[in-house]
Structure 1
Amino acid sequence: MQNADTDDVADQACEVSGANHVAIIMDGNGRWATQRGKPRLFGHRAGAKRVREIVESCPDFGVKYLTIFAFSTENWKRTQAEVAGLMMLFRRYITRETQALHEKNVRVRFIGDRVKLDKKLQSLMDHLEDLTKDNTAVNLTIAINYGGRDEVARAIRDIARDVKTGNLDAEKVNEETLSSYLDTTVLPDPDLVIRTSGEARISNFLLWQSAYAEYEFIDTLWPDFTRDVFAEVLQRFDGRDRRFGAVKT
Structure 2
Amino acid sequence: MTLRSRVRTLVDGAYERVLRREIGDGPDHVAIIQDGNRRYARSRGDDADDGYHAGADTTERVLDWCGDLGVEELTLYAFSTENFERPADQQETLFDLLESKLREFADADRVHEQGVCIRALGDVDRLPERVREAVDYAEERTADYDDFTLNIALAYGGRHELLGAVRAVARDVADGALAVDDVGVAEVESRLYRRPVRDVDLIIRTGGDERTSNFLPWHANGNEAAAYFCSPYWPEFSKVDFLRSIRTYEAREESWRRTRAKRAAALVRALAADLDEARAVASRLRERLPGEANAADLDEALEAGGTGTGETAD
Superposed pair shares fold, TM > 0.5: yes
1:1-249 equivalent positions in 2, closer than 5 A: 2-3=9-10, 4-9=13-18, 11-12=20-21, 16-100=24-108, 101-183=111-193, 185-211=195-221, 212-240=224-252, 241=254, 243=256, 247-249=260-262
Retained in 1: the 8 A contact 2:121–2:194? yes
Letter of the structure 1 residue corresponding to residue 206 of structure 2 = T
SS of the aligned residue for 1:93 comes to helix
What TM-score, normalized by structure 1, do the two folds share? 0.91
After superposing on structure 2, the runs of 4+ consecutive aligned residues of structure 1 that deviate more than 4 Å are none
Question: Which 10-residue stretch deviates more, 97-106 or 69-78?
Answer: 97-106
Q: Cα RMSD between the aligned structures?
A: 2.0
Mapped to 1, the partners of 2:161 and 2:151 lie a distance apart of 15
Letter of the structure 2 residue corresponding to residue 5 of structure 1 = A
Retained in 1: the 8 A contact 2:118–2:138? yes
Unaligned runs of 5+ in 1: none
Deviation at 1:164, TM superposition (A): 3.1
Mapped to 1, the partners of 2:246 and 2:88 lie a distance apart of 37
Q: Deviation digits for residues 106-143 of structure 1, max 9, x if unmatched?
A: 11111000121111211110121121122133211010
Larger Rg: 1 or 2? Answer: 2
Mapped to 2, the partners of 1:92 and 1:242 lie a distance apart of 42
Letter of the structure 1 residue corresponding to residue 256 of structure 2 = R
Higher RCO, 1 vs 2 (CA within 8 Å, ≥6 residues apart): 1
Counting matched residue pairs gives 247
Q: Do the aligned partners of residues 216 and 184 (structure 1) sit closer, same or farther apart at CA in structure 2, a change above 3 Å counting?
A: farther
Deviation at 1:62, TM superposition (A): 1.8
Mapped to 1, the partners of 2:40 and 2:25 lie a distance apart of 29
Letter of the structure 2 residue corresponding to residue 38 of structure 1 = D
- In terms of fraction of residues, the more helix-rich structure is 2
Mapped to 2, the partners of 1:23 and 1:184 lie a distance apart of 15
What TM-score, normalized by structure 2, do the two folds share? 0.73
Deviation at 1:156, TM superposition (A): 1.6
Deviation at 1:80, TM superposition (A): 1.1
